[in-house]
Chain A
C-alpha cells in the first residue's frame, strides 16, 4: 500500500469529500432517516484518531422538483438537525422547518449531498508521525536476531520523544510564530509551547518584517520587593515577603528610545549638537537602530517591549519542543533516519551486555545521520545561492 492510498486527492486539495445519496437509499424508521457513512468515513478512520462527528460533515438537500423549488425555497438546503452514531447518519424527519419533512417530501427525486470536511492543511506528506516512527522502529530494529532483541515500547517512545525535543532545538526549521498586536502594557505572554525565541520583529505598514533586538539597557527583576518608607521590607501575616510593581519596568516603559538612537528629536538639536555635526563618535552599533527593543521577563513569563512599539504588530518566531500536541509530534522525512538512529543509539547505550564497539558504531551513525538531516533541511539550492552571491559585487550594502 502506498503512502497516499488512504487519502483521496479531492480531500487533500479541497478539504472536502463529496458523496451524494438518493433519498430512497436512506432507511426510514421512527422519526429518523438513517444512512451508513462507513465508506465516506474511511479516510477519517483509517488512522483512528477519533470517530466521525457531526462537525465533520455538511449535509445538503438538493432537488430538481419545480413544485418544491417554488414552495419551499431555497434549495440546495443545508440540514442541521442530524446526528451520527457509529458512522450512521441519522436525519430527523422534521429538521429545522416544521412544515416541511425534507426527505419524505423530496421522494425519489431528492438527493442528499454529504460533504466530509477536514481541516485543509496541505503539505502534510513531508512529515512522518511519531507513532509511525515508533511502530516502524519496533518492526525494523527490535526482534529476534537483531541487535535489540527486546525492548519495552514505552522506552522507545521515551527516546523518540527526547529525540524529537533535541531535533526541534537544532535540526528542524523553526515553523512556529505568533502574530500579536502590542497593547499599551507593552507586554506579550510567551506562547504556550515556547522554549526559546529565534527572532522577534514588528510588521511595518508595508508588511515588511523589522527585527527587534533584545537589550541589556534594562532588566526585568525576578523579584520586586515591597518596602516601607523607612526601606524596611513588608511581610504578610504568615511572614512571607510581599512584592510590588517593579520600578525598573515602570521607568523603562516611560523611556523614549529615540534618545539612544540616531532618530533625535529636532527640538533638542541645539547649538551643542550643531558644533559636533558629523562627528558622532563612540556610538554603539547595537543601539543604532530604530526598530525598538525587547526584554524577557522571567518573572511574568512574557516579553516586554520598549514604548515606541506600542500598538505595533509583533511577530514572535520561536522554537518549541514539538511535543505540545499529538498532531505536532512529527518529523520531517529528511530527519526520519536520524531519529531511528537516535533511538537505536540511546537504547543500545542503556542496555547491558552490548559491546562498546556497537554502541560507538551507533553513536557515529547517529551523528552522521543528524549531519545529513541538517544539510538536507538547510536547502542549499544552487540557484538561490547564486542569486545571493551576486549581491556581493555591490559596493554599498545595508
Chain B
C-alpha cells in the first residue's frame, strides 16, 4: 500500500504545465518527493498527538470519526523490527531509524526502558531503581566508544544503543528493536524513448536490456552493471493529496512563481484547518 511515484509525478507535472509554468525533471522531483515524504511522516506524529489530545477531551467518535486511528494507520506502514546483536559491553549498532518505539529482549518478553541520560546516575545509584535483568534500561549514544589501541575501532561514528545491566546483556546478546524506519527515497525510473530526450516511466525489474534505465543506482547486479528500479512513495494513500501539494509548494519555491506557491500554501492551510 504505497503511492505510485509515477502517479504523483504526472499529477505534479500536469498542475505545473497546465499554464506552461515550466517543467520539473525526474531528479528534481525525486529530491523534492523525498523531502516532502519525510515532512509528511513527521507531521503525522504531531497530528496524532493533537488527535489524541482531542480524543481525551471527548471530541472524537468511533468508526469513521476515529481520527487517531486513521493517523495511526498513516504511520504504521513505516513500522519495522530488527534484531540487534550486542557486543561484550552490551552495546549495539542501531539501524537507520526515524523513531524508536520499543526495545525488548527474550523474545519480546522483557521490555527494555529508555531512560533520560540526566537521570542515569540516580537510577544506577539507588537500589530501588537500579536496572536488573527483569527491568533493564537502555540509552542511545551518537558514537561508539573508541579504543585508541585498536585500529578497527578508530574514529567510527555510529548510532549506538547501550543496555544496562551490561553484565546480563553481555551474555544475552540479542535484543529486538521496534521502530519507525526512515522512508526510502522515491525513484522515478525511466528509459529513453527517442533520441530527442523523450523518456518514459519504467516499472518492474530492470533486465539486462534495460541498461539504459535511469537513474543509475549504486547496486551491483549479478552482471556487475548498475541499474535502477522504480521506488514508490511509502506513505499511506490518504496522504497523496498532501504529497502532491507539498511537492508543488517546493516547486513554487524553486521556480519562484508566486502563482504556484500561494495556491499550494492556501490549499495546505485549508486542509490543516479542516482536519483540526
Q: List the interface of chain A (C-beta within 8 A of B).
A: 45-49, 130-131, 134-135, 138, 144-145, 149, 152-154, 157-158, 161-162, 323, 326, 329
- In the complex formed, the residue of A with least CB distance to B135 is A157
Residues in chain B near residue A48, CB distance under 8 A = 105-107, 109-110
With A48-B105, A48-B106, A135-B111 given, is the CB distance from A130 to B134 under 8 Å?
yes
List of 3 A-B pairs having minimum Cβ-Cβ separation, nearest first: A48-B106, A153-B113, A131-B134
Kindly identify which residue among A45, A130, A134, A144 contacts B55, using a CB–CB cutoff of 8 Å: A144
B123 within 8 A of A: yes
B128 interface hit (Cβ, 8 Å): yes
- A162 in contact with B56 given A153-B111, A153-B113, A326-B134 (CB within 8 Å): no
Q: In the complex, are the beta carbons of B134 and A154 less than 8 A apart? A: no
Query: Is B52 an interface residue when CB atoms closer than 8 A count as contact?
Result: yes
Closest to A135 in B: B111
Other-chain contact of A162, B115, B128, B132 (Cβ < 8 Å): B128
Alpha-carbon gap, A152 to B118, bound state (A) = 14
Residues in B with CB closer than 8 Å to A158 are 128-129
The number of residues on chain B lying at the interface, defined by a beta carbon within 8 Å of a beta carbon of chain A, is 22
The secondary structure that dominates the A interface is helix
Using A48-B106, A48-B110, A130-B134 as known contacts, say yes or no to A154 and B123 having CB atoms under 8 A apart. yes
- Once A48-B105, A48-B106, A154-B123 are accepted as A-B contacts, the answer to whether A149 and B113 lie under 8 Å apart by CB is no
List CB contacts (< 8 Å) of B108-138 with chain A.
Answer: 109-111, 113, 115, 119, 123, 127-129, 132-135, 137
Q: In the complex, what residues of B have CB within 8 A of residue A157's CB? A: 129, 135
Are B56 and A154 in contact, with the CB atoms below 8 A?
A: no
Q: How far is the CA of A138 from the CA of B110 in the complex (A)?
A: 13
Bound: A368/B46 CA distance, A: 40
- A154–B127 Cα distance when bound, in Å, is 12
Considering only CB atoms, which chain B residue lies closest to A164 in the complex?
Answer: B128
Query: Closest chain A residue to B115 by CB distance?
Result: A154
Question: A145, A149, A153, A162: which contacts B135 (Cβ < 8 A)?
Answer: A153
Q: Which residues of B contact A131 (CB under 8 A)?
A: 110, 134-135
Q: How far is the CB of B83 from chain A (nearest CB, A)?
A: 14
Select which of A138, A144, A153 is within 8 A of B56 by beta carbon: A144
Q: Which residues of A contact B113 (CB under 8 A)?
A: 152-154
Residues of A within 8 A of B127 (CB): 323
A154-B129 contact in complex given A48-B106, A48-B109, C-beta closer than 8 Å: yes
> Closest residue of chain B to A138, judged by CB?
B111
Nearest chain B CB to A302's CB is how many angstroms away?
Answer: 23
In this complex, what residue of B is CB-closest to A49? B133
Please, which residue of chain A has its CB at the minimum distance from the CB of B52?
A144
Asked if A161 contacts B110 (CB within 8 A), the reply is no
Most buried by B among A48, A152, A161: A48
- Give the contacting residue for A47; candidates B105, B109, B119, B129; CB below 8 A: B109
Q: A residues within 8 A CB of B115?
A: 152, 154
Q: List 21 A-B contacts (CB under 8 A).
A: A48-B106, A48-B107, A48-B110, A130-B134, A131-B135, A138-B111, A144-B55, A145-B56, A152-B113, A152-B115, A153-B111, A153-B135, A154-B113, A154-B137, A157-B129, A157-B135, A158-B128, A323-B128, A326-B132, A326-B133, A326-B134
Q: Report B-chain residues with C-beta under 8 Å of the C-beta of A154.
A: 113, 115, 119, 123, 129, 135, 137
